[in-house]
A and B are shown apart, each in its own frame.
Chain A
Amino acid sequence: MKTNIFVLFLAICVFASALALVTKREETRNFSKQLEKVESQRRALKQDWARLILRQSNLASHSRVEQVARDALGMKLPEPKTVVSTK
């Protein structure tokens, strides 16, 4: 009788382990999918950021600022003699 109960217990354990294996495998698959989604989001965001900083950099480039200041706004660099340093 004792042996039968033990065999039954082992059978239940095997069944439970099989179920757990399937569940965990599915979970892993889902997590992988999520990870992949998040990584592709991160990549897309970084690409957008790269586009934006490139645009910002083009707009704020020293050569462009100088050109706009000189041509559009009629500005010029002050002569060193006219510069006053304040503390």
Chain B
Amino acid sequence: MNLQRKVTFDFRNRRKAVLALFSIMSVVLIWGAIDLQINEPVDLKKRADSRSLRIKGVPTDRGIIFDKNKDPLAVSVPHYALEVDPRKLINNEEHQNRIATIIDWDPEKLHKIISTKKNRKGIPLTRKLTKEQKKTLSEIGIDGVYFSEYSKRHYPTSNVTAHLIGFTDRDDRGQEGIEKLYNATLQGVAGERRVLQDASRQVVKSLQIIKPVEPGKDLYLTIHAGVQYAAYRALEKAVIKNQASSGSVVVMNPNNGNILALTNYPSFNPNISSEKQAHLYRNRAVTDKFEPGSTLKPFTIAMALEGGRYAPETTVDTSPGAIAIGKSKVQDFRDYGILSLTGILRHSSNVGSTKLAFDHSPEAMWNILWAVGLGEKTGLKLNGEARGDLTSHVKWHPFEHATHSFGYGMTVTTVQLARAYSVIANGGWLVSLDVVRGAPSFPRVRAIKESTAKSVLDMLVVAVNEGTGKNARVQGFNVAGKTGTARKLLDGEYTSKAHMALFAGIMPADAPQLVSVVVIDEPRGEHYTGGQVAAPVFSEIMNEATRLLNIEPGTSVGQPVIENFATIRPPLGSAF
């Protein structure tokens, strides 16, 4: 019964009160809406226009490229551009004069620009505003003066590293070289934020970070700026002196594959846009293939030693200084008679190399060239890197079999040749080349026996001290190396008028720490051979490099060198 009474409780008054309250509220809301639409629309529109929500980008700076000693090779620095609104300045000569004074302009020049373009919304005045000039102009607060920030890349080593580092475009995006290859790492990711801005597009309030900024990462190269400079300077001098068309130099550490210097001449200054001409961009050391000529002979010797039937003192009869292969003929400079394997390298005998090749199968010849990394990329991953040409031995005619033994009929790049010589320098290991520190690299693989590598290394010391490479000698050090003078192909035939002068060397021969290859293309001066043109460049670079890298002198060049390998190599750790 009690329950029944509760259910029939009277709510009518309460309902009336609630309805009345809602009615009043509805009337107020309707009146408010009418008031906003009719009485105050202009004022509200103004307020809405004056402040609006926008998403703005947050810029990020491009990372710096450093050499191995943290010397900068490419740095982005902010610059400021100045733009003025002539409509706001046309009637104020005093403001015009102040602007002109601050930006070091002739006031008349500014008056003229503003009066001739007085109806334009904005005219750019300069992109070279300094930080101080911008600060002064901002402090004065002249109406109609606007700034925009942009980043400009600077290359303190300019021509010296131009091909390797490359350059960026106006928007700081990599266009060539390392700048292009590592663009994503260097560039970073710009952020985004939600802001409240006023009618003049000035940010009034920052509300929210939508996407955080990821600053561009710095990049550390394996390049040594000092060695790079020494290499460039020596190369430039040699190309000019010998009236050559171009040249390339690579200096590397044979033990880990790190490139210490990689330079070409002619070069360009990446800081000056007018110098950025397409024909100068090419990183010849990586993209240009050439026949390596006699610099390949050490690998023919290595093939013979690897086969087990030859020892360094084994002799080969090269008489009468020429050998006929079908209709073709291979010949030496003169008849060298009976030569040991060392003698073949020392005199750079084509006949000796051919006889060694013919005593082994084409497959054995191909295998040794492939084992030392020819015909494949070096691991540098630089733009446009060439593989070189190493055709299958199955297709070789006997003459091709012969020419491969002294570096014709196949092509290599400068970096490939340096990599191949590092196999001899480091005891037989094929290393992957690196130019960026920390970049993923392939593990080294055994290419030839340690004993073979050491024997060839010792023979190359003789080739420098007693053979064609005398100009490559470095005071206080034992140098190993081989010269090459390759005739160039002209209209399908080898010409005696155009050559490639080459030198590939290892330093110090007692405990190799550096391998360098010098290539001079088409020397047209008094001299043209590798020994006369390229070997002195090697010597000059190594003189500097040993000082810069604190490489201790080993056996003096002045010491007598005997063609007995045991006596050439001093015990490890000895100073002289």
Contact = CB atoms under 8 A, between A and B. Distances in A.
Interface of A: 29, 32-33, 35-36, 39, 43, 46-47, 50-51, 53-54, 57-58, 61-63, 80-81, 83, 85, 87
A56 to B, nearest CB: 8
Interface secondary structure of B, over-half rule: mixed
A32 B225 contact: no
Contacts of B77: 47, 50-51, 54
A61 B156 contact: yes
Given A32-B209, A57-B72, A61-B157, A47 B61 contact: yes
Nearest to A40: B58
B489 interface: no
Interface of B: 58, 60-61, 64, 71-72, 75-78, 154, 156-157, 160, 193, 206-209, 213, 215, 225-226, 229, 474-476, 543, 552-553, 575
Contact of A57 (B156, B207, B229): B156
A16 to B, nearest CB: 25
Contact of A54 (B58, B72, B193, B207): B72
Contacts, number: 60
Contact of A85 (B75, B76, B476): B476
B575 A87 contact: yes
Contact of B61 (A50, A54, A58, A85): A50
Given A58-B156, A85-B552, A85-B553, A35 B209 contact: yes
A36 B206 contact: yes
Contacts of A57: 71-72, 75, 156
Contact of B72 (A32, A53, A80): A53
Contact of B206 (A33, A61, A87): A33
Contacts of B58: 39
A83 B474 CA distance: 12
A83 B475 contact: yes
A47 B475 contact: no
Contacts of B157: 61
Contact of A39 (B156, B213, B475, B476): B213
A57 B77 CA distance: 13
Nearest to B59: A43
Given A54-B156, A61-B156, A80 B543 contact: yes
B22 to A, nearest CB: 21
A62 B232 CA distance: 11
Nearest to A29: B207
B16 to A, nearest CB: 24
A54 B154 contact: yes
Contacts of B543: 80
The 6 closest A-B pairs by CB, nearest first: A80-B475, A57-B156, A62-B229, A54-B75, A57-B72, A50-B75
A11 B221 CA distance: 65
A55 B455 CA distance: 49
A25 to B, nearest CB: 10
Given A53-B75, A57-B71, A81 B475 contact: yes
Given A36-B206, A50-B77, 11 more contacts: A32-B208, A32-B209, A43-B215, A54-B75, A54-B154, A57-B72, A57-B75, A61-B157, A62-B226, A81-B475, A85-B575
